[in-house]
Amino acid sequence: MVELVDIVFWPCPMDFKYKDVRAMKDGEIAVAFINGAIRTDEQEEMAHLLRKKAQMVVAFGSCSHLGGIPGLGNFWDRETIFETVYGKSCPSIDNPDKVIPQKVSKVPEGELTLPGFHDTVKSLDQVIDVDYYLPGCAPPPYLIMKTINAILSGELPEKGAVLAPAKTLCDTCSRNDSKPEKISINEIKRISLTKADPEKCFLAEGIICMGPVTRVGCSEEGDGRCIAVNMPCRGCFGPPPGVKDMGAKMISAFASLIGLEGEENMSEEDVEKLINQVVDPAGTFYRFSLPTSLLRRKKMSKNRQ
């Protein structure tokens, strides 16, 4: 494989310079795999530069594909994040003048610059045209190899495809058969406080598992990587085909399972008590996908914008 390709830019392990990429001809790079969500001026500039220099762009990993965990920052705005990080986040912060990072700072030696920090986290395709998506946090090696082989052999699907199977994790999960005919959830348990039965479906046990709304493919064997180590799926592979908003889909699926066994109608009070057992609903249902969901970001009040 290594003899078939030249790596021309890979800033993490090797010391390539941006100026080397800028000096390339447009389209000179065959494929750019771009990871990470877009939050700063520098990330946005690099995305545009690589789009110009590459014939094909693959969004690599959950952050690039969906916005990822950094996308949960869209529940706040830039000012709130800076106020928290540089002011209130822990008692050891000593910043009486409330100094926050500036794009340009004057120092005796001259000017120091930092990339601008945007109000909203974006997925890669909200900034540039993307040809393919390689999902996962992180994408599994077997799928990376499959993608590279498909590129080398010219056997890629239609532009815009997610390069992973078109089923849900539940479709291939070995615990699916353990589900009762009708799941009835009357207690919501946290995995960190529960000894989960390694044979049983998490959801049927009252542990939130995003398997019903998550694309399969994180493991070659069929069971998800997390399921295989007795952890519920958190949804890093993104939605399967036909699902635009995996968080909303899961909330709706989950709501249909809530009920006290043997009781036809739960009181509103009981339902509320049960729902309140979901700790951090936004982080549970939108952990990887907020920037590409229908919500996209929280609208802040005018004086915060």
Among 61, 212, 247, 291, binds ligand SF4 (CB under 6 A): 212
Interacting stretch for ligand SF4, rule CB under 6 A, among 91-99, 145-153, 222-230, 262-270? 222-230
Residue 205 CB, nearest distance to ligand SF4 (Å)? 9
Question: Which residues, other chains included, contact 43 with Cβ-Cβ below 8 Å and sequence gap of 6+?
Answer: 36, 37, 115
Regarding 134 and contact with ligand SF4 (CB under 6 A), the answer is no
Residue 244 CB, nearest distance to ligand SF4 (Å)? 18
Are 298 and 76 in contact by the 8 Å Cβ rule? The answer is yes
Q: Which of residues 137-176 bind ligand SF4 (CB under 6 A)?
A: 169-170, 173, 175-176
Residues in the chain: 305
Cα gap 131→135, rounded to integer Å:
13
- Closest-CA residue to 238 (of 249, 229, 228): 249
Hey, is 134 helix, strand or coil? strand
Q: Is the dihedral of CA 191, 195, 200, 205 positive or negative?
A: negative
Residue 109 CB, nearest distance to ligand SF4 (Å)? 46
**Residue number with CB closer to ligand SF4 (232 or 247):** 232
Residue 217 CB, nearest distance to ligand SF4 (Å)? 8
**Residue number with CB closer to ligand SF4 (77 or 223):** 223
Q: Is the dihedral of CA 131, 211, 36, 220 positive or negative?
A: negative
Regarding 254 and contact with ligand SF4 (CB under 6 A), the answer is no
- Count CB neighbours of 120 within 10 A: 17
Regarding 237 and contact with ligand SF4 (CB under 6 A), the answer is yes
* H helices present in the chain, as ranges: 18-22, 41-53, 62-66, 78-83, 141-153, 169-172, 225-228, 246-257, 268-275, 281-285
Regarding 130 and contact with ligand SF4 (CB under 6 A), the answer is no
- Count CB neighbours of 122 within 10 A: 21
Regarding 65 and contact with ligand SF4 (CB under 6 A), the answer is no
User: Residue 282 is which amino acid?
Assistant: A
Regarding 61 and contact with ligand SF4 (CB under 6 A), the answer is no
Interacting stretch for ligand SF4, rule CB under 6 A, among 8-16, 225-233, 239-247, 255-263? 225-233
Regarding 233 and contact with ligand SF4 (CB under 6 A), the answer is yes
Cα gap 83→70, rounded to integer Å:
17
Structure tokens at 227: 């399921």
Regarding 209 and contact with ligand SF4 (CB under 6 A), the answer is yes
User: Residue 223 is which amino acid?
Assistant: D
Regarding 71 and contact with ligand SF4 (CB under 6 A), the answer is no
Backbone angles phi, psi at 31, to 5 degrees: -140, 135
Site string for ligand SF4, 169-188 (x = CB under 6 A): xx--x-xx------------
Residue 87 CB, nearest distance to ligand SF4 (Å)? 33
Among 39, 78, 122, 234, binds ligand SF4 (CB under 6 A): 234
Regarding 213 and contact with ligand SF4 (CB under 6 A), the answer is no
Regarding 202 and contact with ligand SF4 (CB under 6 A), the answer is yes
Which residue, judged by CB position, is nearest to ligand SF4 in the bound state? 211
- Closest-CA residue to 274 (of 203, 182, 186): 186
- Footprint on this chain of ligand SF4 (rule: CB under 6 A): 169-170, 173, 175-176, 201-203, 209, 211-212, 214, 218, 224-227, 232-237
